[in-house]
Each structure stands twice: as C-alpha cells, then as structure tokens.
Amino acid sequence: MSRKTTAGPDLDDISWQIIEQLQEDGRRSYGAIAKAVGLSEAAVRQRVQRLTEAGVMQIVAVTDPLLVGAHRQAMVGVRVSGPIEPVAAALSDMPETIYVVLCAGGFDLLCEIVCDDDAHLADVLASRIRTIPGVAGTESFVYLQLRKESYRWGTH
C-alpha cells in the first residue's frame, strides 16, 4: 500500500519503512535496515541517498539546546503588514532561528528561536525581529520546559 503525499515524490511502502527505521535510530546501519525491509544493503543505501537528495528527509544530530549552552528558547508569533515572504526570508537568515513557518490565524508567521540567555532573547526581539521591514507586531512564548519533541510523524 503506497501512501500518497500531497507534495514531493510518491513514496512506496519500502521507502516509508526505511524512513521509519531511520526515525527510530538515525544511526541504524544500512545492513540492519536492509534486513528489516527486505532489500539488499546497496538498495537501501541508494534509496536513502535518493530520499535525502530529493529533500524528503535529512539525517541530523538533534541536540537539546539547554544541554549545549543555549538557555532560552521561544516561539515568536509575527504579524506582517505587506508581503510575508521578505519577512520570512529575513527571519530564516537569522542564526538564532531554527524554525520559520507561514501560518493562518492570529499570526502570519511563527518563528522558533534559540538564544544564549534572556538578554540575548531581548536583543533578538527588539533589535533584529521587530526592526525587519513589514513586521507589524510580535508576541513571544518563552519555553519553560520541553516535555515532548518527536520526529516520528509521517510513518504512522
């Protein structure tokens, strides 16, 4: 059974199984994945390469910002006056941003930022985000504790 995606390549069940294997453990060997999905190691290696080159998935190390020196995370809701794309591009270019999404509702954009501390967060908000041409307003949601972070969506 093939799960049709709305954008990007049509993925067959084997591709979905490979993605699921890597979501469970991004360091899982091609040999172990091959045994689990019923392909050769070379075939799995080729599929993983095609999936990463197509932008379907990335294999990365995910860190907990609090454990690597960044002591303040926040989601910033951004209201835009005028075109949204230039504001989204400016936010995306900031090294502190790890997530920028165009959305519907009370905000035009949501931007997740990671900062060293409260002073750094205040500076990013006041001197950088709020000064971007087109930003009409912001609302910040400071993270107190991370309770869940999952990258296993899409396969279940």
Please report, for the chain, the start and end positions of each structural domain, with discontinuous segments joined by +.
13-54, 72-142
pLDDT in the model for residue 119 = 95
In this chain, the answer to whether the domains covering 13-54 and 72-142 adopt an identical fold is: no
CATH for the 13-54 domain, from 3.50.50.60, 1.10.10.10, 3.40.50.2000, 3.40.50.460: 1.10.10.10
**SS3 string of 120-147?**
HHHHHHHHHHCCCCCEEEEEEEECCCCC
pTM of the predicted protein model: 0.70
Cα(60)–Cα(74) distance, integer angstroms: 22
CATH for the 72-142 domain, from 3.20.20.150, 3.30.70.920, 3.30.70.260, 3.40.640.10: 3.30.70.920
Query: What does each of the 156 residues of the chain score in pLDDT, given as a tens digit?
Result: 444 445 556 789 999 999 999 988 889 999 999 999 999 999 999 999 999 999 888 888 777 777 777 789 999 999 999 999 999 999 999 999 999 999 999 999 999 999 999 999 999 999 999 999 999 999 999 998 878 777 666 655
Sign of CA dihedral 4, 2, 44, 46: negative
Give the SS3 label for residue 111: strand
Cα(155)–Cα(149) distance, integer angstroms: 16
Q: Give which of 120, 112, 119 is closest to 141, Cα–Cα.
A: 112
